[in-house]
Amino acid sequence: MGSGALTAVRTIFRLAASMLVALFALLAPAVATALDDTVRIGVLAHSQESLNLWSPTADYLTQRIPGRRFLIVPLDNHTIGPAVAQGEVEFVLTNPGSYVELEARYGVTRMLTLRNLRQGQPYTVFGSVIFTRADHPSVKHLEDLRGRSFMAVDKNAFGGFLMAWREFKDHGIDPFRDFTEIKFIGLPQDPIVYAVRDGKVDAGMVRTDMLERMAADGKIRLDQFRILNPQHAEGFPFALSTRLYPEWPFSKARQTSDELAQQVAIALLSLPPGHPAAQASKSAGWTVPLDYTPVHELYRELHVGPYEDYGRMSTADILRQYWHWIAGMVVLVVALSAIAFYILRLNRILNLSQERLLGASHDLERANRRLERMSTQDDLTGIANHRYFQEHLDLEWRRERRARKPLALLMIDVDYFKALNDALGHLTGDECLRRIAHTLAGGLHRAGDVVARYGGEEFAAILPETDARNAAMLAERLRAAIENMGFAHPASKVGSNVTVSIGVASLVPMEQQKPEELIAMADRALYRAKKIGRNCVVADGTPD
Dmax (CA) of the chain: 109
Distance CA 376, CA 435 (A): 20
Distance CA 389, CA 482 (A): 21
- List beta partners, residue 269: none
Q: How far is CA 31 from the centre of its chain?
A: 35
Distance CA 150, CA 227 (A): 14
Contact 80, 42 (CB under 8 A): yes
Please list the alpha-helical segments (H only) found in 36-174: 47-64, 80-85, 96-106, 163-170
Question: What is the distance in angstroms between the CA of the first residue and the CA of the last residue of the chain?
Answer: 109
Given 101, 457, 465, 476, the catalytic residue: 457
Q: How far is CA 455 from the centre of its chain?
A: 25
CA 138-143-144 angle, 5° bins? 15
Please list the alpha-helical segments (H only) found in 133-180: 163-170, 175-178
DSSP letter string, 436-473: HHHHHHHH--STT-EEEEEETTEEEEEEET--HHHHHH
What is the gyration radius of the CA atoms in the chain, in angstroms? 29
Contact 43, 94 (CB under 8 A): yes
Strand order through the sheet with 407-414: 450-455, 458-464, 407-414, 500-507, 537-539
Contact residues for 49 (Cβ-Cβ < 8 A; gap 6+) = 187, 188
457 is catalytic: yes
Q: 73-78: list long-range contacts, CB under 8 Å, 24+ apart.
A: 73/40, 73/41, 73/42, 73/43, 74/43, 74/45, 74/46, 74/47, 74/50, 75/42, 75/43, 75/44, 75/45, 76/44, 76/186, 76/187, 77/44, 77/154, 77/156, 77/157, 77/186
Distance CA 385, CA 375 (A): 8
Question: If you ran DSSP here, which 8-state letter would residue 180 be given?
Answer: S
Quick one: which H or E segment has residue 488? none
Q: Which residue from 37, 36, 55 is spatially nearest to 45, judged by alpha carbons?
A: 55
Other CB atoms within 10 Å distance of the CB of residue 31: 10
The amino acid sitting at 128 is: S
Which residues are tagged catalytic? Answer: 457
